[in-house]
A and B are shown apart, each in its own frame.
Chain A
Amino acid sequence: MTTVVPEGAVAAAPVTSTPKAAKQALTSPWASLASILIAILWTVPTAGLLISSFRPETDVKTTGWWHIFTSPRFTLDNYRAVLSTGSQNNLTDNLVNTIVITLPAVVIPIFLATMAAYAFAWMRFPGKNMLFVLVFALQIVPIQVCLIPLLKLYNKPPFNLMPIHGGENPPAGGLYSVWLSHTIFALPLAIFLLHNFMREIPGELIESARVDGAGHVQIFARIMLPLMTPAIAAFAVLQFLWVWNDLLVAMIFSQSTPPLTKALTDLTGTRGQDWPLLTAGAFVSMVIPMIVFLALQRYFVRGLLAGSVKG
């Protein structure tokens, strides 16, 4: 039974359950001050950007956002400028590109990886261990190492196959090369993570299903996929954030369909002081990952550490 000490501000009030009473020396006023200071430093920059994105253009350009407290004036003009199709710097097209790039780049690698993880975990075939070690080892390859040869493969595939990037008329305007790249870069880690989760499922479950006459495909679809949902969700959130926030793959492979990150980088370069545009644009790019993040936080945290070494 814990008792919460209500005094003291935000992050400082200690819970005086027995083993933690020792912490009290640490939660001195200085410690509280330090934690509040960190919390402020980590929130205020984003808050400033958000507030500014709702201020009239002249205000944003001439006074700091904290003047909102003395002369509050709000407008949606900045968002109109970046979201209405007629305007010069509208980002709707880039928002569409980001969405169109992200969805397949999340769904496809996860499904492929779940299949491969199932094979590694529950099927018998020669060379299994060697192949698994190879997949595991390829986690360490930074994506920079793969980009140039991959671009060449997309442009001039062997056997005169249709180029999926560049060339006269690539299918889906070159989108396939972006989807494929994100899929490739996600696979080693996804297979490894999902395999670890899959090994934890008791073998008797699979055995009894086999005895009942279920084939691998049925076991995979009826038993594995439902049981794996939390693990799949964990990886899905990570992969979503990677792809949505990616800049490098986008700059190399999706020049004809630039996503928000690319468009914002260009805007920062060419119109670096155009704060009304930049603040609203940045927020348009941030709002969806933030919602996903808040809604699925518990899954996200789960895959966080394991995902930290990705490409």
Chain B
Amino acid sequence: MSTGEKFLQMVIAIVLFFVVVSAILLLTQRLRSRRGELVQSAAFLLPATFLIVVGLLYPAINTIIWSFRDNLGRKWVGLDNYHAIFGSNAEIKVLVTTALWVVVTPLASTGIGLAYAVLIDRAAFEKVAKALVFMPLAISLVGASIIWKFVYAPNVGLLNAVSGSVGLGDNHSWYQDLNSSPWNSLYLIVIMVWVQTGFAMTVLSASIKAIPTDIVEAARLDGVGGLKMFRYITVPSIRPTIIVVLTAITIATLKAFDIVQSIGAGGAWHTNVLALDFYIRQSQGQNGTAAVVAVLIFVLVSPVVVYNIRQMRKAEAR
């Protein structure tokens, strides 16, 4: 398709959508009886509900079923796919690497984000200081990977120059030369931390500003200050928000595969993680084991999401 055709198709899609939806709404709006209300509800609700049921509910159930069937979905294989996943050393390695991501990323980003939020709280340049750290959140993980690949690059990379100037050798391609796991994965995790810290900082900063001033004032009159203030007043006051941030970043980390795909050379050198493993298996037509990996991500993510939503309610209720 040429560029013009693409834009034309885009306009057609949007116009078509609005024409159909308005037609449905306008046709049903005249109905005022009790049954009319029901028809109107359906007009408002059914398009979205239909898409959710067909596009999320049915596929989710289907994937769970697929995980017990062979790659072509022709016959039942019982737990064979699960055995294939949990019985393979390579796959255990993937799980360990994923665990490393899930432990380090939330802790590091939340820790740095919290420290930064406290340090710049009410500072003169707070807005600018926040925007600087927040900015990576607007960049795609692919873009962030290129930015950091450039930092790690041999000869022209910044890390190279810094390590050269302190005598650590000066011609590394850092994340590749350190091709022993888990160190190379840590170089990739840095990128995720770099992106997620802005999220943690922004949310926590809002929460810090919501701490009632009388609590802070009372503590100050009692002679509490500095680190003690941080430890005994700030952190306890925003604990629910800290948990929300930790879990939110955990969820994002479990599902992110972009970084490893784009600069971890598609999971080579033991950098593979679950979310990428799903993609690799799917693209190789191993639908059975890919479904197992998807189910595994589902099982790992859902309790965190449930916990996250409950904590978010708690944090909002305060």
Q: CB within 8 Å of B: which residues of A?
A: 4-6, 10-15, 17-28, 31-32, 34-35, 38-39, 41-46, 48-49, 52, 60-66, 92-93, 96-97, 100, 103-104, 107-108, 111-113, 115-116, 118-120, 123-125, 131, 134-135, 138-150, 153, 172-173, 175-176, 179-181, 183-185, 187-188, 191, 215-218, 220, 241, 244-248, 251-252, 257, 261, 264-265, 268-269, 272-273, 275, 278-279, 281-282, 285-286, 289-290, 292-294, 297, 301, 304-306, 308-309, 311
Among A46, A268, A308, A309, contact of B262 (Cβ-Cβ < 8 Å): A268
Chain A residues near B306 (CB-CB < 8 A): 140
- Give complex CA distance A175, B283 in Å: 19
Chain A residues near B41 (CB-CB < 8 A): 119, 123-125
Chain B residues near A149 (CB-CB < 8 A): 58-59, 62-63, 66
Chain B residues near A32 (CB-CB < 8 A): 119
| B284-303 interface code vs A (CB 8 A; 1 in, 0 out) | 00010011011101100110
For window 240-261 of chain B, which residues contact chain A by CB distance below 8 Å?
Answer: 244, 248-249, 251-252, 254-255, 257-258, 261
Could you tell me if B148 and A35 are in contact, using CB atoms closer than 8 angstroms? no
- Give complex CA distance A61, B248 in Å: 39
For the A-B complex with A108-B14, A245-B141 known, give 9 more contacts whose Cβ atoms are closer than 8 Å. Answer: A15-B123, A25-B227, A27-B123, A120-B45, A124-B37, A248-B257, A265-B262, A273-B153, A286-B138
Q: How far is the CB of B94 from chain A (nearest CB, A)?
A: 14
Chain B residues near A35 (CB-CB < 8 A): 116, 119-120, 123, 129
Chain B residues near A93 (CB-CB < 8 A): 3
- Give complex CA distance A131, B196 in Å: 33
- Give complex CA distance A119, B40 in Å: 9
Chain A residues near B293 (CB-CB < 8 A): 144
Among B133, B202, B226, B302, contact of A304 (Cβ-Cβ < 8 Å): B202
Could you tell me if B44 and A42 are in contact, using CB atoms closer than 8 angstroms? no
Q: How far is the CB of B200 from chain A (nearest CB, A)?
A: 10
A-B contact pairs, 13 of them (CB 8 A): A12-B120, A22-B216, A27-B123, A46-B147, A115-B21, A123-B41, A125-B42, A149-B66, A175-B6, A216-B40, A241-B137, A286-B139, A293-B137
Could you tell me if A62 and B155 are in contact, using CB atoms closer than 8 angstroms? yes
- Give complex CA distance A100, B32 in Å: 40
Could you tell me if A145 and B298 are in contact, using CB atoms closer than 8 angstroms? yes
Could you tell me if B121 and A180 are in contact, using CB atoms closer than 8 angstroms? no
Residue of B nearest to A16 (CB): B122
Residue of B nearest to A136 (CB): B309
Q: How far is the CB of B27 from chain A (nearest CB, A)?
A: 10
Among B30, B148, B149, B295, contact of A145 (Cβ-Cβ < 8 Å): B295
Could you tell me if A64 and B261 are in contact, using CB atoms closer than 8 angstroms? no
Chain B residues near A184 (CB-CB < 8 A): 51-52, 55-56
For window 206-259 of chain B, which residues contact chain A by CB distance below 8 Å?
Answer: 206, 213, 216-217, 219-220, 224-227, 229-230, 244, 248-249, 251-252, 254-255, 257-258
Chain B residues near A140 (CB-CB < 8 A): 301-302, 305-306
- Give complex CA distance A247, B275 in Å: 12
Could you tell me if A187 and B51 are in contact, using CB atoms closer than 8 angstroms? yes
Among A125, A282, A306, contact of B147 (Cβ-Cβ < 8 Å): A282
- Shortest 9 CB-CB contacts between residues of A and residues of B: A25-B226, A245-B140, A184-B55, A308-B248, A149-B59, A293-B138, A146-B59, A119-B44, A116-B48
Could you tell me if A45 and B229 are in contact, using CB atoms closer than 8 angstroms? no
Say yes or no for B132: interface residue by CB 8 A criterion: yes
Chain B residues near A13 (CB-CB < 8 A): 123-125
Residue of B nearest to A95 (CB): B3
Could you tell me if B161 and A66 are in contact, using CB atoms closer than 8 angstroms? yes
Say yes or no for B25: interface residue by CB 8 A criterion: yes
Residue of B nearest to A5 (CB): B124
Given the known interface contacts A26-B229, A148-B294, the answer about A309 and B125 at a Cβ–Cβ threshold of 8 Å is no
Chain B residues near A272 (CB-CB < 8 A): 149
Chain B residues near A41 (CB-CB < 8 A): 194
Given the known interface contacts A22-B229, A25-B227, A103-B14, the answer about A309 and B118 at a Cβ–Cβ threshold of 8 Å is no
Residue of B nearest to A113 (CB): B48
- Give complex CA distance A21, B223 in Å: 11
